[in-house]
Structure 1
Amino acid sequence: MAKATNNLKNRFGRSLTDNALTRYVTFSALYIAQGIPEGITYFAIPAWLAMNGKSALEIAAFVGVIGIPWSFKIIIAPLMDRFTFLAMGRKRPWVIFGQLGLIVSFLNIGLVPDPLNNLSALMVAGFFISFFGAFQDVATDGMAVDVIPPNEQARANGLMWGTKTIGISASLVIGTWLINTVGFSIAVSSLSIAVAAIMFFPIYFRERPGEKSMPWTLGAASPDSKQTQLQSWKHIFKSLLKVVSLKSSIVFGVGVFMVGIMFGLVDTLLPIFTIQELGWTNTSFSQVFSVTSVIGGILGMVIGGYLVDYFGKIKMLTLYLGILALLITVFAFIPNLWGSNIIIYSFILSYYTFYTFLCIAVFASAMHLCWKTVAATQFTLYMALSNMGRASGSALLGVLKTNFTWEWVFIFIAIMPVVMAILIQFINFTKHRDQVDSFVVLNQTLVAPPVIKD
């Protein structure tokens, strides 16, 4: 019995760097916490607004505003790379802070009076949910790049993105049911309970052995953390500029911005299109979206990471982007079949399945391009570019729908993945890693202590 207990402890220890199972469970939980605010702000609230007769322009404006904090993550990331409480880890203190902010901001949005006729206040409250969601996201991603070995990155991203999708779907279904049952204020405020429960993971688990769990507990900074941590803004921005100036970094950044436009357009479009064009209720939309997203998320968790590992990042990125472009184009040319639930369900299921697979491949690619020295800032730069594209796409939908039919809107969306598919053919991951490794060797040479001769 004691032997079995010891084996379990070895498999599921408290240190992220020493335990694969601990890494998978912790990052999956933190990504569920990221999915909860997205499910409410990007899907449940827009569907509720559409159900209550708000225009596409008003809903797009709301989604555009809540997308702004995700675009400015690049301002937060250098702060995390520069400042931290090393005795608790390089990124874990920031994860805890972001999680606390999410709890408070969920409680705050429930205090907005008459939200249907007070969209400005609703936007401000939604902005703060997105701000702390982005904050937690930056810290979590930075910690993931720090502690997840390269050979686990695709598999870990499959689990992380899959659980995030489940978090989005669960919060959408439960949030929509609560909004329709007990009212908006109680519904959104109650979600802080789920976010608070996930706080257990960043508090209990540590990045590296010997670190403090909390500021008042025993422990000390890890030698690895001390060696990796940069001590000046000059070194951070000089190192960042060095790695993002590489050709593969530039091409990837442009590509994720373009595909981000597609994400923003589709996410904002679906609740408006299904409710106001097809006559669905917000409950119907939430149920269909959630079921299809969960299926996509589970497939992503089970096989998404393995496909990227087995066939390679460029091949799978190209395949997923091509399938999405073809899927959206075909849907644009069959408006006479939009009245069929089977067609709509199939489209949403197919889109979110390959969307999940694409996100897993994009995240794994971004991690592979990162230099650990400025991991949070560099990874966040890629994600900020994607989120800038997403916010642009969300805001752009109102303009497109005002001037064009739904068919032309879908055709415009299909162009975005084609552009990224072309761009990524110019990325060379092997050459990029060799260049980053040469930076590491150079840095070690520059900071090496002088040799003292007898």
Structure 2
Amino acid sequence: MASHAPAQGGLVLENSPRLRQLTVLLFYLTQGFPLGLFYYAIPAWMAAAGAGTGQIATVVAAAQLPWTLKLINGFLIDRYTFLPMGRRRAWIIGAQSLLVGTLLTAAVVAPAPTDLAILAAFGFAAGVATTFQDVAIDSLVVDIMPEEERMRASGSMFGAQIIGISLATALGGVLFAYSGFAAALAVLAAVPLAVLIFGIAIRERSGERRMPWSSGNAHEISRSIQVEAWAPLVRNALRALFAPLSLLLLPILVVRSIPHGGFEAFHPVLFTQTLGWRIESWTGFYSTTLLASGVIGLLFGGAVVARIGVQRTLLLTTGLGAASLFAMGLAQPFWSVPGVAVGFVIFSKLCAMGYFIAGIPLAMRLCTPAVAATQFTIYMAVGNFGRPIGAALAGVTVEQGFPQWLYWGGGLAWAAVAVTLFFVRFPGENAAAHAAAEVLPQGEGLAPRVD
């Protein structure tokens, strides 16, 4: 076993609880930037230039697609790494570099709102970078953080990503309107770039390298917990996934984000073209509602779900959400009334927040100890399929002249989940959640909001 060079600075994660918390906060903050840009600010910019729902849906779906493939990221990050830099930092630095490079390249290319292929390509590249960074940071949390720090880290994950999305949406809307695409992307790339420099400056454990050409060696702990076997991991994960309750959970996870994938494609059109809002008004309103939902969820969500119960909260939010979706579809003659659209967006955010907060612990309860981390990652990857499905639904229904069916389709999906939750009893607890981190670390930790 290689001996360790002494640490060459104080920025070592294993030695500093504050540095560990700051690392989680900063990287989750930057996760929100590409999400805010490609899900909200750029669609609003395209809509203001006259783009249709189908065109916007193409870009949104391309940015969302890498999130459906996040399972692959987890396997790759766990299986392959450059141990002299730590188990996760090489992936984190690489993913963050790809994100910065994507934003700066997009600023140089400066595509027009009608350059769908170019915008979709940049959205996809940003999504790939963000998903790899997300899985790597979650893995780092479990590798480095002791158990007593993880709850606080989970709060930082949830709140920081929401703040990042809100900042990118609001700033992007203003910069697109007054400075243009190139200037907006160049300014917004500054924050991920600063966090990349921070990621290069830190180390996971004492004696490791900051960069491949630096001095240092792999830490014994990293060597001892590095996962090398493929077959048992895949076999046991598939066995757990095909259990009856697990098969029932999968569509529940998928359905959660179907309406909101459609909203991300259609609501910029609804607000800028039907209601006549300016681009910065729509992005400012949406970022405000997004930030408010994050703060409410952070401060009160967990306590409310604990008091009501996970399955009851899911039943309540899916039932109310389905009713609001059906009502919004029926209210099509009144969509030009600001209060109708604004009220629906606010209420749908609250329902989605409850669905998300209650859905995560339900998924963790079904994880078996031997493969809990991989199983949880699979659940989160499957859940991401709902967003591109919703974006595609928006493109089909709106382009065919039946936009009300976007809401009715989402309402039917949520109603089906409510019926399932009414008749099926999921387990009330699972003691395996913490044990999972000792087996395959990439899966524990709060999933991202668009996960």
TM-score by length of 1: 0.82
Does residue 428 of structure 1 match 2:439?
no
Does residue 416 of structure 1 match 2:417?
no
Does residue 350 of structure 1 match 2:347?
yes
Deviation for aligned residue 1:174? 0.7
SS for the counterpart of 1:116 is: coil
Q: Equivalent residues in 2 for 1:80-91 (5 A)?
A: 80-91=77-88
Tell me the residue number matched to 1:221.
Answer: 219
Residues 391, 415 of structure 1: CA spacing in aligned structure 2 closer, same or farther, 3 A cutoff? Answer: same
Residues 18, 388 of structure 1: CA spacing in aligned structure 2 closer, same or farther, 3 A cutoff? Answer: same
Q: Distance in 2 between matches of 1:351 and 1:430?
A: 28
Aligned length: 426
Residues 231, 314 of structure 1: CA spacing in aligned structure 2 closer, same or farther, 3 A cutoff? Answer: same
Deviation for aligned residue 1:274? 1.4
Residues 372, 136 of structure 1: CA spacing in aligned structure 2 closer, same or farther, 3 A cutoff? Answer: farther
Q: 1:167 aligns with which of 146, 164, 168?
A: 164
Tell me the residue number matched to 1:104.
Answer: 101
Deviation for aligned residue 1:16? 6.2
Q: Equivalent residues in 2 for 1:74-153 (5 A)?
A: 74-144=71-141, 146=143
CA deviation string 1:27-54 (max 9, x = no partner): 2322211110011111111111111111
CA deviation string 1:45-102 (max 9, x = no partner): 1111111111211111221222222222222221111112345443333222211110
Asked if structure 1 preserves the Cα contact closer than 8 Å seen for 2:41 and 2:173, the reply is yes
Deviation for aligned residue 1:290? 1.1
Q: 2:272 aligns with which of 266, 271, 275?
A: 275
Q: 2:240 aligns with which of 243, 258, 265?
A: 243
Q: Distance in 2 between matches of 1:313 and 1:236?
A: 29
Q: Distance in 2 between matches of 1:310 and 1:214?
A: 47
Q: 1:323 aligns with which of 320, 324, 328?
A: 320
SS for the counterpart of 2:268 is: helix
Larger deviation, residues 301-310 vs 360-369: 360-369
Q: Distance in 2 between matches of 1:319 and 1:151?
A: 32
Q: Distance in 2 between matches of 1:309 and 1:18?
A: 31
Asked if structure 2 preserves the Cα contact closer than 8 Å seen for 1:50 and 1:59, the reply is yes
Deviation for aligned residue 1:368? 5.3
Asked if structure 2 preserves the Cα contact closer than 8 Å seen for 1:154 and 1:364, the reply is no
Does residue 296 of structure 1 match 2:289?
no
Larger deviation, residues 172-181 vs 257-266: 257-266
Residues 217, 309 of structure 1: CA spacing in aligned structure 2 closer, same or farther, 3 A cutoff? Answer: farther
Q: Distance in 2 between matches of 1:432 and 1:378?
A: 15
Q: Distance in 2 between matches of 1:211 and 1:368?
A: 36
Q: Distance in 2 between matches of 1:318 and 1:156?
A: 28
Asked if structure 2 preserves the Cα contact closer than 8 Å seen for 1:40 and 1:172, the reply is yes
- The code of the aligned residue for 1:124 comes to A
Tell me the residue number matched to 2:329.
Answer: 332
Deviation for aligned residue 1:23? 4.9
Q: Distance in 2 between matches of 1:257 and 1:17?
A: 40
- The code of the aligned residue for 2:37 comes to I
Tell me the residue number matched to 1:252.
Answer: 249
- The code of the aligned residue for 1:433 comes to A
CA deviation string 1:108-142 (max 9, x = no partner): 11233542332212211221111111221222233
Q: Distance in 1 between matches of 2:152 and 2:193?
A: 27
Deviation for aligned residue 1:404? 5.1
CA deviation string 1:211-270 (max 9, x = no partner): 6555535564253x4454321222331232243234443332221112232231122221
Larger deviation, residues 181-190 vs 400-409: 400-409
For structure 1, the residue ranges without an aligned partner over 5 or more in a row are: 1-11, 441-454
SS for the counterpart of 2:266 is: helix
Q: What is the RMSD of the two structures over their aligned residues, measured on CA atoms?
A: 3.3
Tell me the residue number matched to 1:234.
Answer: 231
- The code of the aligned residue for 1:105 comes to T
Q: Distance in 2 between matches of 1:419 and 1:28?
A: 36
CA deviation string 1:143-187 (max 9, x = no partner): 345556778767644442232122111101111111122211221
SS for the counterpart of 2:411 is: helix
Q: Distance in 2 between matches of 1:372 and 1:103?
A: 37
Residues 208, 288 of structure 1: CA spacing in aligned structure 2 closer, same or farther, 3 A cutoff? Answer: same
